[in-house]
Amino acid sequence: MSLVLALFGAGNAFAAGVVPLPAEVTAGDGAFHIDAKTQVCVTDPMATETAHYLVDLLARSRNLKLGIRRCTAGTHAILPEARTITFSTAPGFEAEGYRLEVTPQRVAITATTGAGLFYGAVTLWQLLPAGAGQAEVSSQVIRDAPVYRWRGLMLDSARHFQSVEFVKSMIDWMALHKLNVFHWHLTDDQGWRLEIRKYPRLTSVGAWRTPATPAPAAVAAPAVAAPAAGKHLPRYGGFYTQRQVRDVVAFAASRHVQVVPEIDLPGHAQAAIAAYPWLGSADGPPPPVSARWGVHTYLFNPQPATLAFLKDVFTEVMDLFPSHEIHIGGDEVGKDQTYFTQEMSRFLTLHGRRLVGWDEILRPGLAHDAIVMSWRGTTGAHAAALAGNDTVLSPWPTLYFDNQQSKLLIEPPGRMKVISLEDVYAFDLRDESLTPAQRSHVLGVQANIWTEHIRTEERVEWMTFPRAAAIAEIGWTAPERRHWPDFVQRVAPTLAKYRSLGLHAADSAFAVDASVTPGPDGAVVTLSNQTGFGEIRYSTDGHDPTASSAKYSGALSLPANADLRAATFPEGAAAPLAAPVSDVLHRRLSPATLGRRGSRELDLCSDGISLLLEPSAAGAPAAHGRAGTPRPIFAIDIMNPCWIYRGVDLTRGAKLAAAVGELPFNFEIGADAQKIRVGDSRTPAGELEIRLDGCDGAPTATAPLTPLAADAMEAQLPPIDLAPRPGRHDICLRFARPRLDPMWALDWVEIGQ
């Protein structure tokens, strides 16, 4: 007897690790046993590549080496002892759809297209539990196909450069989530990353800049050496040769991922203009490739010569990228850009391609086949659908993966708005106000990984996964079938599989958060995790917790010098070997640090442009943040660097110690820069100002600052006495500074007796 699993019943043995959730799962009896004797059987040559993919994945993830054979549809009947995984084709499936049937005797994957077969293989792999060697898959029948045809990720390789190997690995990870569009942001003010044969200076000049932040050691040396740089100028950059691009595109095709290249115009063009100044419209000396972030003012010049240049560039782009869709950017330009959009749209159409642009391109006269990528919220998508244009939803801030995913100290630099896994999952593509015909213009969904603040490949992985798993599910699975608690149950085992394949995914959704306050025995500690998933287990004996360590059930009263370790485990993980689903949190308490708050544990006074930033000093050896002195990460609103330490008992007075760093003000924010308070310092380098219960008025105390040594990441200030006064007070800390650049930043404050 079999039953169709109830709507939310899939978070069990059947679809346990399957993300995105399949359209239909019907449970059967028994299970298929997969081991080294299992044969992969290919009845249609179209499946050969996918069969190899599956075999390779099984070898890499569980050290299980299966053989592949060519066979006819009935082979499994003649070879009953050799359990088979059979790939066959049949007409009638949707473009990316497939059927996966598991019985104790065999697994059969059937689809009409290569993509369908591939996704069937992915689902089969996901059905296997984490672990090595042989495994069982419960009998079941899955019928599956995606709701949306555009399930994308955008990677910004311009602000920070990633190696070809890394780019391919990202595409590989996408495929494992049935994501199918890799939007590659290849040019921007800070770098031109694509070799164009006709214009070599685009890469010999445009691919290199002075580092905006310390050079990331994690990025592999670029394939082509930087041209002789000025002796003392460190250089940062890299580009993709045409040969490398063809390799990436071919690899993506083997994973059923379409690569949509973006050449951003007419704004975000400073690197190109640095290479060929005549492309620009500004007077004055040519600009350098930018080492600053924000909206730059250099634009392509709307002249016939510029257009001829762009047509040459796009001719090479079309030769490299078979994608039907070609992205021309179009974002963040002060001026009317209809001229460029229309000319480029005509040119691409002439060559049988389709223009994609950010939602600024939506202007009267936009070609009816142009695709509008809605990023300034979802109104662009709505307007595009009304106008009869296809559209992709990629709204800031929810689908902007440069935002951090929790408030924990484990998060790398980025924007400070918290976009959790649940926030991404909750994003709803449906627009009920559209008619069914208008709705059909919504092609799908995409998340964007902007890399201004994501300088290493490891951090790109962290910022992308597992949030990309949520993108995959909202793009693939019908909204009626989606259910957050069920998704979390499926993501947790998926994280374990990520680890087995070496992906540095974020555990932010499961990681333990400890809030420590002074208490009668020393400290009171409360533990939690973002999703409430599983159970938290902890230890204080100096060893990492296991599934049999004490289970957290309420606030802990610990001595002031306790050594606390905690991690999240799956619920009811009785077996002592059950692995945690988060990394271990380790807090060594001490009487002094009880009163210490890092900048991200304080409140920011405002939320203008709030960022997590690293110091620019080259001093720190540890590019990965693993070994060596960790680089401090400063939480700062660059529009108003100001922090609040709440509720300090000053009855007996207090001593305040702080560590401060200097950050370059390397932001293009136009006239908004005038809103930043500067020029209010009394000493040459500025002061730290301390105020009570408010951030205006005369400071209670000030501490003069001295510029940091070139290789120092921060400096500790001598303690400041706060005079006794009754009650608890909010302490406001901000800096007076002589000028915009550099800006002082607070790393931590310690308040004690």
Say how far apart CA 380 and CA 359 lie, in whole Å: 6
Q: Which residues are catalytic?
A: 188, 268, 332
Query: Hey, what are 478's tokens?
Result: 């019908």
Least CB distance to ligand TNX at residue 356 (A): 12
Q: Cα-flanking dihedrals φ and ψ of residue 52, to 5°?
A: -65, -40
Question: What is the footprint of ligand TNX within residues 345-384 (CB under 6 A)?
Answer: 358, 375
3-state helix, strand, coil in the chain (%, to 5): 25, 30, 50
Least CB distance to ligand TNX at residue 362 (A): 13
CA angle, residues 593, 596, 597, in degrees to nearest 5: 145
Least CB distance to ligand TNX at residue 689 (A): 30
Least CB distance to ligand TNX at residue 453 (A): 8
- Please count the residues of this chain forming the interface with ligand TNX, following the rule CB under 6 A: 7
Least CB distance to ligand TNX at residue 268 (A): 6
Q: 3-class SS at 104? A: coil
Kindly compute the dihedral angle of the four CA atoms of residues 472, 474, 475, 477, in this order, to the nearest 10 degrees: 100
Q: 3-class SS at 646? A: strand
Q: Find all residues with CB under 8 Å of 173, minimum gap 6, and list them.
A: 461, 464, 465, 468, 503
Query: Closer CB to ligand TNX, residue 289 or residue 746?
Result: 289
Query: Closer CB to ligand TNX, residue 449 or residue 623?
Result: 449
Q: Does 332 sit near ligand TNX (CB under 6 A)?
A: yes
Say how far apart CA 364 and CA 336 lie, in whole Å: 12
Q: Which residues are paired to 34 by β-bridges?
A: 135
Widest distance between CA atoms in the chain:
90
Least CB distance to ligand TNX at residue 80 (A): 57
Query: Closer CB to ligand TNX, residue 295 or residue 650?
Result: 295
Nearest residue to ligand TNX by CB is 331
Query: Hey, what are 162's tokens?
Result: 């990633």
Query: Hey, what are 239's tokens?
Result: 């580009």
Least CB distance to ligand TNX at residue 277 (A): 22
Q: Which residues are paired to 265 by β-bridges?
A: 329
Closest CA to 741 of 366, 380, 291: 291
Whether residue 615 is preceded by a cis peptide bond, meaning omega within 30 degrees of 0, is no
Least CB distance to ligand TNX at residue 677 (A): 23
Q: Does 192 sit near ligand TNX (CB under 6 A)?
A: no
Least CB distance to ligand TNX at residue 451 (A): 8
Q: Does 402 sit near ligand TNX (CB under 6 A)?
A: yes
Question: What is the footprint of ligand TNX within residues 418-457 (CB under 6 A)?
Answer: 450, 452
Query: Closer CB to ligand TNX, residue 212 or residue 589?
Result: 212
Query: Closer CB to ligand TNX, residue 402 or residue 461?
Result: 402
Q: Does 331 sit near ligand TNX (CB under 6 A)?
A: yes
Closest CA to 20 of 161, 151, 190, 191: 151
Q: Does 486 sit near ligand TNX (CB under 6 A)?
A: no
Over the range 412-446, which residues count as b (16 or more CB within 10 Å of their CB) and which as e?
A: bbbbbebbbbbbbbebebebeebeeebeebbbbbb
Query: Closer CB to ligand TNX, residue 23 or residue 673?
Result: 673
Q: Does 184 sit near ligand TNX (CB under 6 A)?
A: no
Residue 502: other Cβ atoms inside 10 A: 10
Amino acid letter for position 238: G
Q: With contact defined as beta carbons under 8 Å apart, do 190 and 271 qualify?
A: yes
Query: Closer CB to ligand TNX, residue 264 or residue 714?
Result: 264
Query: Closer CB to ligand TNX, residue 462 or residue 487?
Result: 462
Q: What is the DSSP string of 537-569?
A: EEESSSS---TTSEEP-S-EEEETT-EEEEEEE
Query: Closer CB to ligand TNX, residue 246 or residue 417?
Result: 417
Long-range residue pairs from 438-441, CB within 8 A, at least 24 positions apart, any chain: 438/385, 438/386, 439/385, 441/384, 441/385, 441/388, 441/389, 441/390, 441/391
Closest CA to 513 of 459, 568, 579: 568
Give the footprint of ligand TNX on this chain (CB under 6 A).
331-332, 358, 375, 402, 450, 452
